[in-house]
């Protein structure tokens, strides 16, 4: 018998997209997949070598300490001090995660009771809802609108929701909109959290990827942030380590303790060899991150320039490896995505899959070569949808 908890899990948005892509592939069409979020570059060599060396050491073959090896927690603290000027206690303010998705799903279980509300961004990462379902809690969404820079309007949140909300999720650089936050915005979020006695989880999955010489800021750089919140950072995107499943949470000691307590009942941390590789990734030399950012920025420039050339009114993303592009008039996001797939062999993620306020947009990933991205736009041009299309 399957539990009601599993039966009631939300359908996975990306699984339905994958099925459509596979069905189209089966017809023999060449597919350019700009709908995925899986990095296309290999993990840097020095990180792989660190894993190889650690795997040869017998002391890495046993169980890891439940809270992760001390050297990894210290490396996290050193990283935050070096990159953001933030002091972190490696013993009480760091939780090691088997990928940030685990942490995002764990927090509702660790921090919320049946009558509490979780505040989520809309549009937002669809898997936030997995934690809602598993914890059997209520949630309310905060619209992220273009006219507000894709930032939530805290004043628009109803008083009854403020009273019952206990945790709020923020995510910058944002998936899917690619919007970036500022320290003043985070200061405002901290004040809101303190006034309404709630905690903040800032999902910083794309924190290592900023364009035009601008580095995304950390939530913990806001005054008082550690008093009411944590930040989750994954190595998946910054270091092309998506399959390695390693991440961490930093910040408020109460939230970190709750996560660690829950994890002690679910996991025995992650393979120590991977933790040693993560230490190498977070080390002083971040040349691989600069090179990766330059690669994505070059791809972004090709996408935006080509899209504008065919008459697609788009804005260049400032961070992440996604672009959030408006759907042409007369189409829903799903209908537009379906046409691009079926008639051009180009995959994009329809915005409605990220929430009600994602309708009207598609998310485009910068995870193909510049040549393939340019080819994708040329294929779209031939459909005659945009004003400058030569048909």
127-177 pLDDT, tens digit each:
999 999 999 999 999 999 999 999 999 999 999 999 999 999 999 999 999
Distance CA 261, CA 106 (A): 11
pLDDT at 390 over 70: no
Look at strands 349-350 and 346-347 and give their pairing. Answer: unpaired
Q: Which residue has the higher pLDDT, 250 or 17?
A: 250
- According to CATH, the topology of domain 4-43+287-381 is 3.90.1150
What's residue 389's pLDDT?
57
pLDDT at 34 over 70: yes
Report the top-level CATH class of 45-281: alpha beta
**Residue reference for tokens 């933030």:** 86
pLDDT, tens digit, for every residue of 176-210? 999 999 999 999 999 999 999 999 999 999 999 99
pLDDT at 335 over 60: yes
pLDDT at 377 over 90: yes
Distance CA 38, CA 298 (A): 18
Distance CA 304, CA 178 (A): 14
Give the HSE-up count for residue 58: Cα atoms under 13 Å, Cβ half-sphere. Answer: 0
Average pLDDT score over residue span 70-83: 98
Distance CA 171, CA 201 (A): 8
The three-class DSSP label of residue 271 is: coil
Q: Kindly report the average pLDDT of the chain as a whole number.
A: 95
Query: Can you give the residue ranges of every domain in the chain?
Result: 4-43+287-381, 45-281
pLDDT at 358 over 90: yes
pLDDT, tens digit, for every residue of 230-257? 999 999 999 999 999 999 999 999 999 9
Sheet of 322-326, strand order: 322-326, 361-365, 349-350
What's residue 4's pLDDT?
85
Cα-Cα end-to-end distance for the chain: 57
CA 72 from centroid of its chain's CA atoms: 22
Contact present, 152 and 142 (Cβ < 8 Å): yes
Q: Which two tokens stand for residue 378?
A: 């040329």
1 falls in which pLDDT band (50, 70, 90)?
confident
391 falls in which pLDDT band (50, 70, 90)?
very low
Average pLDDT score over residue span 42-52: 98
Q: Where are the alpha helices (DSSP H) in the chain?
A: 4-7, 13-25, 45-55, 70-84, 100-111, 128-135, 159-164, 183-196, 225-228, 235-238, 253-266, 272-281, 287-309, 333-339, 370-381
Reduced 3-state DSSP string for 107-143: HHHHHCCCCCEEEEEECCCCCHHHHHHHHCCEEEEEE
Sign, CA dihedral 326-329-330-336, equals negative
The three-class DSSP label of residue 170 is: strand
What's residue 9's pLDDT?
83
**Residue reference for tokens 């989880």:** 201
Among candidate residues 180, 175, 181, the one with its CA nearest the CA of residue 236: 175
pLDDT, tens digit, for every residue of 260-315? 999 999 998 999 999 999 999 999 899 999 999 999 999 999 999 999 999 999 99
What's residue 82's pLDDT?
97
């Amino acid at each position: 018998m399957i539990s009601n908890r599993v039966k009631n899990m939300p359908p996975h948005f990306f699984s339905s997209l994958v099925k459509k892509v596979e069905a189209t592939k089966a017809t023999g069409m060449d597919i350019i997949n700009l709908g995925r979020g899986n990095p296309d570059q290999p993990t840097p060599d020095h990180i792989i070598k660190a894993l190889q060396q650690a795997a040869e050491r017998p002391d890495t073959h046993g169980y890891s300490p439940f809270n992760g090896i001390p050297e990894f927690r210290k490396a996290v603290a050193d990283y935050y001090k070096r990159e953001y000027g933030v002091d972190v206690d490696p013993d009480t303010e760091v939780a090691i995660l088997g990928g940030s998705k685990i942490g995002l799903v764990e927090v509702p279980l660790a921090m919320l009771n049946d009558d509490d509300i979780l505040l989520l961004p809309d549009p937002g990462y669809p898997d936030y809802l997995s934690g809602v379902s598993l914890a059997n809690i209520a949630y309310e969404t905060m619209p992220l609108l273009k006219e507000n820079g894709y930032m939530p309007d805290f004043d628009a949140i109803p008083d009854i929701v403020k009273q019952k909300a206990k945790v709020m999720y923020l995510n910058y650089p944002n998936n899917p909109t690619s919007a970036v936050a500022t320290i003043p915005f985070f200061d405002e979020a901290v004040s809101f959290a303190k006034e309404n006695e709630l905690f903040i989880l800032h999902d910083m999955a794309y924190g290592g990827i900023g364009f035009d010489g601008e580095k995304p800021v950390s939530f913990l750089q806001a005054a008082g942030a550690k008093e009411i919140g944590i930040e989750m950072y994954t190595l998946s995107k910054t270091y092309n380590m998506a399959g390695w499943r390693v991440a961490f949470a930093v910040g408020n000691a109460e939230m970190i303790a709750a996560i660690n307590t829950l994890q002690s009942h679910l996991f025995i941390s992650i393979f120590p060899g991977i933790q040693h590789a993560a230490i190498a990734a977070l080390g002083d030399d971040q040349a691989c991150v600069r090179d990766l950012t330059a690669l994505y920025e070059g791809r972004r420039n090709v996408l935006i320039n080509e899209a504008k050339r065919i008459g697609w009114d788009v804005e260049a993303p400032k961070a992440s490896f996604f672009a959030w592009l408006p759907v042409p008039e007369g189409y829903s996001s799903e209908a537009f995505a379906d046409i691009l797939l079926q008639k051009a062999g180009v995959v994009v993620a329809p915005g409605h899959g990220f929430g009600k306020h994602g309708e009207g947009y598609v998310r485009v990933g910068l995870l193909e070569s510049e040549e393939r991205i340019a080819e994708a736009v040329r294929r779209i041009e031939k459909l005659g949808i945009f004003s400058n299309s030569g048909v």
